Amino acid sequence: MKSHKIAILCFFQLALAFFVPFSIASAESSEKISTFPEKVLFEITEMAPGRTETKEFSVINKSEEDFNYSTTFKMKSGSEVLYKELIVVVSAADKILYSGKLVDLKDLKSRFLAKTASEKLTFQVKVPTYLGNEFQGLECELELKFLAKGDTVVSVPGNGELPNTATNMFNYLVTGLIFVMGGVLIQSYRYIRKRMNVNA
């Protein structure tokens, strides 16, 4: 019966060590990043060749830790033919981050943002002047999404190097393991002492 108590105690401590940290990390990750305005959409409607639409917005780090964030793009609805021809220029603080066809831009290189800081991004979408009459009347809606990578994931590596995955999660697991081992040693010591007293 005593051995069963030890096993149950160890299992309970192990569950705390491994399940609690992961649930905390999951809850925090969705609260780290926001944009202003909150909804970032481009509606390309009634745009003649050569016309440009520009949008500015701020990316805000709402957490108490630094993180890298990534930006992804996709066509939400509309004409895929028009989408493949659109030109986009992305800039931050007068520095051009990307200039070229939107269809070739799957995501921007991850950017660093300090805790509680924000930065302004400018997106300029242009309909090329060389497009003919067959593109008139076509519409396209673009969606931008942002992902805060925090301490758990670093920027997406583009040079073949392994990403740095040292995180606070590792500290949680080590702490949990220490508690588990401590519980095992204490219960084992008590069990052995009782057996020795009985045999004496």
**Angle at which helices 2-29 and 168-199 cross, to 10°:** 170
Residues 133 and 63 in one domain: yes
Residues 37 and 87 in one domain: yes
Predicted TM-score of the model (pTM): 0.54
Range of the domain at 105: 33-148
What secondary structure does DSSP assign to 120-165, as a single string? EEEEEEE--TT--GGGTT--EEEEEEEEE-TTTS-PPPSSSPPP--
Does 163 map to a domain? no
Local confidence pLDDT in tens for the 200 residues of the chain: 444 444 444 444 444 333 333 222 222 334 566 765 555 556 666 667 778 888 888 888 888 888 888 888 788 888 888 888 889 899 998 899 999 998 888 778 888 888 888 889 888 888 888 887 777 777 888 777 778 875 433 333 333 333 343 444 555 555 666 666 666 667 766 767 776 776 66
Cβ neighbours for 85, distance < 8 A, ≥ 6 positions apart: 101, 127, 128, 131, 135
